[in-house]
Each structure stands twice: as C-alpha cells, then as structure tokens.
Structure 1
Amino acid sequence: MFDAAACGRIRPAPNHRIEVRTSPGRGRGIFARESIAPGTLIEAAPIIVLPATHCRALDSTIIYDYYFHWDGDPDGVGRGAIGLGLVTLCNHSTRPLARVDRNYARQTLDLIAIAEIGPGQEVTIDYGCALWFSPRE
C-alpha cells in the first residue's frame, strides 16, 4: 500500500555528485562530477507506479526505454515505475559501476555505486533484462 507520509519525508536535493552529459554513441548519460565510493547512494529517485495495463500500452512508445519493472518478472508482466530523477538516464553496461535498487517502502529507485567511480566517468547500470538494442561499451 502506498504510504504518502513516508514518501513525504523524501527530500530530493540538487545532486552535486552527478550530471547529465552526452555519452558518445549512446545519447545522454549520467556522469560523476566527483569521486564516488562503492556503496554510496548516488540518488533516491521518487517514482510513479504504473499498473501492468499501462506498461503494456507503453511498450510501443519511447517511454518504454525509460521505465523500470517495479514488481514481477523483469521480462514478464507486472507493474512499472517511472523514475522522477536522473536514474532514468543511466546507460547499460555489462561492466556497470552502479546498480538500481527498488525501495518499495519509500517508493524510490535507489542508484547505488558498486565500484569506485572517478570524476568524469559515466555511471552505468546493468539493465538486468533482455536488451531491445545492440549495447555499446
């Protein structure tokens, strides 16, 4: 069940650790502005939960590239989530520097560093599902 009181305590602030830049061959991406240690919470992006019926309708739109599976099988049908932060612009890598954790209690997508990320490095994640594009490393 949605807990508005818990979500009301989330205070997104300007994120000085990351910024949006052009990622060669990939479009936009997220880049570190400073060193980020493994285990660091880079961003806690509030979300909008989408019913499964809405997700199916989005599969043929550009939004498909930006929403996350919220529950259910990553390649199956379940609810989705639209992240209202920079996490939606993270590009895929088979050697990711971060991961996205679904925080069901706070209804956020938490972007967490899993390796040392240096200034200017792109913050990438493993999408964890069948890819619908040819990946570029």
Structure 2
Amino acid sequence: MILPILSVAPSPERGRGVFTTEDIATGTIVEISPVLVLDPEERAKVEQTILFDYIFEWGDDLKSACVALGYLSVYNHSYAANCIYEMDFEHELMQIRTVKPIKAGEELFINYNADPDDTKPIWFEAS
C-alpha cells in the first residue's frame, strides 16, 4: 500500500526522492511494502554491488538484510526526518509513518540510522 498522494520526483542534490501532493498529518502510515529478505551470505554478495546503498539491515541480530519494495528505497536521509520506517520481521513488511506534519509539495525523509534522534554519521558521510 502506497498512498496515492505520494510520488517519486527529482530531489535537489539527492537524485530522486518521495514527495507528497497533499498535506499529511503526524502519525499517518503512508506506505506498507513487502521486502525480500537476504540471509547473511546473500547480504555479503549484495554489499559488493550498487544495491549496497539501498538495502536495510534485517532481523533481531541485524546480520541479514532486505530489499524493500515499493518506494521504500527511494526515501532520502535526513537527521531531521519527518518520517520513520518500521519493520515487521514476522510478516516481512516495512512501513513508513510520519512523525511530523508534512505540507503538500514537501519531500518525505527518513533517518537511515533507524532512530529518528540518532545523529551518528551514516556510512556515506563517515569517510
């Protein structure tokens, strides 16, 4: 499920991103998408490809990974994210929920650290 008010469009200095055409209230689930789970060996292989920047750590031990379907891999990172992602390991789903009100035309962001308050540099900034 992806709300029909979402679209993928060019994001300044970020390639593509997810935007809304209507205002969205705090606490709104805007997307629920299935994932393809990769075991640790598959994850190691994928980490050697361009997909490395688009997979999510998966499982209670974070040794596996997943490829999220839908728009999930297109949301850009921000330490001041207006959305969070939530994982459902049992049903192999991820969802995006707003944590701030978002105005029509704005981009939706997640914090790639998973915790909206975590400001630790992410992998492509850590160099």
Per the normalisation by structure 2, the TM-score is 0.86
Structure 2 stretches of 5 or more lacking a match? 114-119
Query: The residue matched to 2:107 in structure 1 has which SS?
Result: coil
**Percent of matched pairs sharing the same residue:** 30
Counterparts in 2 of 1:53 and 1:130: CA distance versus 1, 3 Å: farther
Superposed CA deviations along residues 78-121 of structure 1, whole A, max 9, x for unmatched, are 11111111011000001000000001232111100000011111
> In structure 1, what is the equivalent of residue 15 of structure 2?
27
Counterparts in 2 of 1:93 and 1:73: CA distance versus 1, 3 Å: farther
Count how many residue pairs are aligned between Structure 1 and Structure 2.
Answer: 120
Moved over 4 A (4+): none
Is 2:59–2:89's contact at 8 Å kept on the other side of the alignment? no
1:131 maps to 2:119: no
> In structure 1, what is the equivalent of residue 90 of structure 2?
105
Q: How much does 1:131 deviate?
A: 1.8
Q: Choose which of 66, 81, 97 in structure 1 pairs with 2:66.
A: 81
Q: How much does 1:130 deviate?
A: 5.0
Superposed CA deviations along residues 37-82 of structure 1, whole A, max 9, x for unmatched, are 11111000111111011111111211111111112456xxx11111
How far apart are the structure 2 equivalents of 1:39 and 1:81?
24
One-letter code aligned to 1:24: P
How far apart are the structure 2 equivalents of 1:126 and 1:61?
22
One-letter code aligned to 2:6: I
Taking the TM superposition and a 5 Å limit, the aligned residue runs for 1:1-137 are: 12=1, 15-72=3-60, 78-128=63-113, 131-134=122-125
How far apart are the structure 1 equivalents of 2:105 and 2:71?
16
